[in-house]
Structure 1
Amino acid sequence: MTHPNQPLFWRDSRMPHVELRKVDDGRKVCYAPHSHTQWSLGAITAGESTFHYRDDRYNISAGDLVLMNPGWVHACNPIEDQPWAYLMLYVDANWLTQLRYAAGLLDMPSWRDISTPVISDAAWYEGYCRMANCLLDPQRALLDKQTEVVEYLAALMQALAGQPAEPIPNAPASLRELAVYLNDHAVDEISLDDLCDRSGYSPGHLIRAFKQHFGLTPHAYLINRRVQLGQRDLKRGTPISEAALNAGFNDQPHFQRTFKRLVAATPNQYRQSSLNQQVDAAGGE
């Protein structure tokens, strides 16, 4: 039984493109600014909170939906210890791109950001909750769950199709290459001198310019990437100590502290949910 103060992560290996997080008491759930590789869609199910998204801040409350593009820095946190609860759906960006492209909503099968950050509409909220309840119900069939997800997201993408996001101003090629380098070498020991040599920037200019374009300093970007790698291993049931080393952390305690700061859950909570779902899926239809 999951304690009300602990997050629940729903996953099913047969639906690897979606993951659902459920938090019933979010008063202690605090995030540092971070980003995801997935597109994310959340529903505030009780109370209210603050939603920081890139350079903007929104007050959101029960019945609101929040939308987050892949790679866009954000944080959603409680207001003065007031109770709040939420659901968060993480959707693989490539899978969602194909869904949009197949529906004729994209000219080519490449990701396009969505401008809408918040939806306050009872019908979309109620539909989201029905979809989430279906995913969380172990008695519902796989086909039922797949249908709920595809129907809801296809309809939402259709409704949002006329609202493409203003893209983040293109970073200089040297900074884009640096971001790719950090992604590809996240587990390595990287120095500021090395990044300056690669980019041609001075240390101060590099930190300011990188944060302006990517929302995080190079170090924070690297740590965010390492946590994403840790999540990937934990989803597979990898032991925490091994996941920590694979993600580039020197020791397990450092990994645990950093993981909790960015994911607002412990590595064990995240991994255990994966194991539970694997057992449920194996025993299902």
Structure 2
Amino acid sequence: MKTATSNSKPIFWRDAHLPHVELRKVGDGREVCYAPHSHTQWSIGAITGGESTFQYRDNQYRVQAGDLVLMNPEWVHACNPIDNKLWAYLMLYVDTTWLTDLRFRAGLLPELRWQDISTATISDPIWFERYCSLAQCLLEPGHELLEKQSKVVEFLSDLMHELSKQPVATAPKTPGILTDLAHYLDDHAADDVSLDTLCELSGFSPGHLIRAFKQHFGLTPHAYLLNRRVQLGRHELKNGTPIAEAALNSGFSDQPHFQRAFKRLMAATPNQYRRGSTEHKVQATRRQQ
């Protein structure tokens, strides 16, 4: 039990010289459960042990060791263990703007604008091995910066070319008023937003507003706002902001509320996430010296 608990603690890899990528590693995910959430980044994960469920918008997949899972930015998802069985994984988060530029420069996008990817899972040992090789290069000390940068670009470039052969992902068009509400929540994520205000902006009744918003975004307005606040807090912690200050800057009334929300959506404590950032800043400083 002691070993499982130790392995369940996530490892977050970040490097100031590669600000567009971030890697998470969990050795035993039996104690790791996620509430439905989304990220601003494009994400790709590798199941390195056991199996789990992968809820991706309205679809659910059963994935196992050797599978890759792919998540578009802002698409609601959740991965969770099955019947307390072993589950280990790696997750790479890629800055959407950077990846859009990479795809555009490779001639894979008609304009410099993000285009969702239709593929949700990949079960191919070659791509799985390449992913794990990239993760190993990033996680293990001793690899030079140029090697890490080259492996990131090479892997993602090749994968984007492969995925471009698939049909373009299409999603139901979201009514403009709901899009405007989402943008309002984005802009006021750290504010005390009321349901009355959202109803005034949309002209909807409270019940209709909540149903319509969840139908198109996969989250209620409150869950959407909470998700945004956690992402704001994540950005603050990544930059080394103290936890209590990050909580207030992200719109949480106090640190305990921030701790609970962060743990539910990130399956890690704010301290675990921030510590990963601090450790790699120290490593980057040592390399410069």
Per-residue deviation at 1:49? 0.3
C-alpha separation in 1, matches of 2:170 and 2:244: 39
Aligned to 2:185: 182
SS in structure 2 at match of 1:50? strand
1:167 maps to amino acid = T
Within 5 Å, give how 1:96-245 maps onto structure 2. Answer: 96-245=99-248
Per-residue deviation at 1:24? 0.2
Aligned to 1:91: 94
Q: Kindly provide the CA deviation profile for residues 164-208 of structure 1, in whole angstroms up to 9, marking residues without a partner as x.
A: 443221211111000000000001111111001001111111101
Unaligned ranges ≥5, structure 2: none
C-alpha separation in 2, matches of 1:30 and 1:165: 31
Aligned to 1:259: 262
Per-residue deviation at 1:4? 1.5
Q: Is the 8 A contact 1:168 1:213 kept in 2?
A: no
C-alpha separation in 2, matches of 1:243 and 1:164: 40
2:48 paired with 1:33:
no
C-alpha separation in 2, matches of 1:36 and 1:56: 18
1:28 maps to amino acid = E
Per-residue deviation at 1:149? 0.5
SS in structure 1 at match of 2:214? helix
Per-residue deviation at 1:72? 0.1
C-alpha separation in 2, matches of 1:88 and 1:166: 22
2:79 paired with 1:66:
no
Runs of 4+ that moved beyond 6 A? none
Q: Kindly provide the CA deviation profile for residues 206-258 of structure 1, in whole angstroms up to 9, marking residues without a partner as x.
A: 10110111110000000000000000000011100000000000010010011
C-alpha separation in 1, matches of 2:20 and 2:146: 14
2:163 maps to amino acid = L
Q: Is the 8 A contact 1:113 1:164 kept in 2?
A: no
Per-residue deviation at 1:70? 0.1
Q: Kindly provide the CA deviation profile for residues 47-86 of structure 1, in whole angstroms up to 9, marking residues without a partner as x.
A: 0000000000000000000000000000000001101100
SS in structure 1 at match of 2:93? strand
RMSD, aligned CA:
1.0
C-alpha separation in 1, matches of 2:159 and 2:87: 25
C-alpha separation in 2, matches of 1:28 and 1:167: 34
C-alpha separation in 2, matches of 1:206 and 1:75: 24
2:177 maps to amino acid = S
2:41 paired with 1:18:
no
Seq. identity, %? 66
Per-residue deviation at 1:3? 3.4
1:238 maps to amino acid = T
The normalised TM-score by structure 1 is 0.98
C-alpha separation in 1, matches of 2:99 and 2:7: 31
Q: How many residues align?
A: 284
C-alpha separation in 2, matches of 1:240 and 1:201: 37
Per-residue deviation at 1:274? 0.4
Per-residue deviation at 1:162? 2.2
Aligned to 2:50: 47
